[in-house]
């Protein structure tokens, strides 16, 4: 299970949560227009693609060392995330297919496969995540974490900043009261930075999005940096290339007869 845990941790290290909508007014930062949080998020969440394909260069580091590999990514929005990992010479070693209901993986090196529900996978890896969160983070969009009264839109020089006030949370609102801060660049209406903190455990997750590229009518970040600090320090860098919208894509997943389950 070690290979699966590593591959999935690379994907899920990128799973950061963002803010919800609220009707509060922003204090005008450095001359930026006075807007509501709802208006801000309507402007940011504009990726209307159906099929998306790209190549990725992934750098994953922790206390045990660094691994770098290439991958091909295909997405059908709200339906499928397909990843083919090719460390060298274009030879696939791992394929992962994620849907709203399931997670599947083929490990060609060990001739093993994994097919399980999202719920069971979360239980195995001791996570709480879903398809929508993963897709949103991979494409620089938002998913709700808290209810709207928890959030305030605040000024930060020439950026809009959304901050969650965990003092407003009731005990039943969330399993973890994470401090959350997200920054937006209004010149391109994209997320540029998100920080999550869990003070009682001295843990922090940082996400940064840079090197934006025009893709059809959208602006897409081609460099993504994710950092976790706490019990284990993990760094994941994703560099995107050959990003394309497609009219259709295939998402093949066939387990050879001789492969055995994890």
pLDDT in tens, 85-103: 988 777 899 999 999 999 9
Residue 90 lies in a domain: yes
- What average pLDDT does the segment 41-59 reach? 84
Residue 260 lies in a domain: no
- Report pLDDT for 19: 32
Residue 23: pLDDT above 60? no
- What average pLDDT does the segment 15-44 reach? 58
- What average pLDDT does the segment 18-25 reach? 36
Percent of the chain having pLDDT more than 90? 35
Percent of the chain having pLDDT more than 70? 79
If you write DSSP's letter for every residue of 140-195 in order, what string do you get?
T-----S-GGGEEEEEETTEEEEEE-GGG--TTT-SS--EEEEEEETTTTEEEEEE
Domain count within the chain = 1
pTM: 0.79
Residues in Cβ contact with 146 at an 8 Å cutoff, skipping those fewer than 6 apart? 19, 20, 164, 169, 173, 174, 180
Residue 262 lies in a domain: no
Which is nearest to 32 in space by CA: 201, 197, 160, 178?
160
Question: In CATH, what number is assigned to the domain containing residue 114?
Answer: 2.50.20.10
pLDDT band at 157 (very low <50, low <70, confident <90, very high): confident
Residue 14: pLDDT above 50? no
Residue 30 lies in a domain: yes
Domain region containing 57: 2-243
- What average pLDDT does the segment 202-217 reach? 86
Which is nearest to 191 in space by CA: 9, 57, 43, 10?
43
């Amino acid at each position: 299970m070690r290979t699966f845990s590593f591959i999935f941790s690379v994907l899920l290290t990128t799973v950061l949560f963002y803010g919800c909508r609220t009707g509060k007014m922003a204090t005008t930062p450095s001359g930026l227009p006075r807007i509501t949080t709802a208006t801000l998020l309507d402007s940011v969440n504009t990726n209307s693609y159906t099929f998306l394909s790209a190549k990725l260069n992934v750098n994953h580091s922790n206390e045990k060392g660094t691994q770098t590999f290439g991958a091909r990514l295909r997405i059908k929005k709200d339906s499928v995330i397909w990843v083919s990992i090719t460390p060298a010479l274009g030879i696939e070693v791992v394929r992962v297919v994620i849907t709203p209901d399931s997670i599947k993986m083929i490990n060609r090196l060990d001739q093993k496969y994994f097919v399980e529900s999202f719920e069971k996978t979360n239980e195995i890896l001791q996570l709480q995540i879903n398809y929508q969160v993963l897709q949103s983070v991979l494409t620089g969009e938002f998913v709700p974490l808290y209810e709207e009264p928890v959030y305030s839109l605040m000024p930060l020089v020439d950026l809009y900043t959304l901050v969650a006030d965990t003092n407003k949370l009731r005990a039943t609102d969330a399993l973890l009261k994470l401090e959350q801060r997200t920054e937006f660049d209004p010149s391109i209406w994209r997320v540029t930075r998100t920080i999550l903190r869990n003070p009682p455990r001295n843990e922090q997750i940082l996400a940064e999005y840079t090197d934006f590229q025009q893709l059809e009518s959208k602006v897409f970040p081609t460099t993504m940096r994710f950092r976790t600090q706490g019990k284990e320090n993990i760094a994941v860098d994703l560099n995107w290339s050959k990003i394309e919208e497609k009219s259709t894509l295939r998402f093949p997943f066939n387990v050879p007869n001789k492969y055995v389950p994890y």
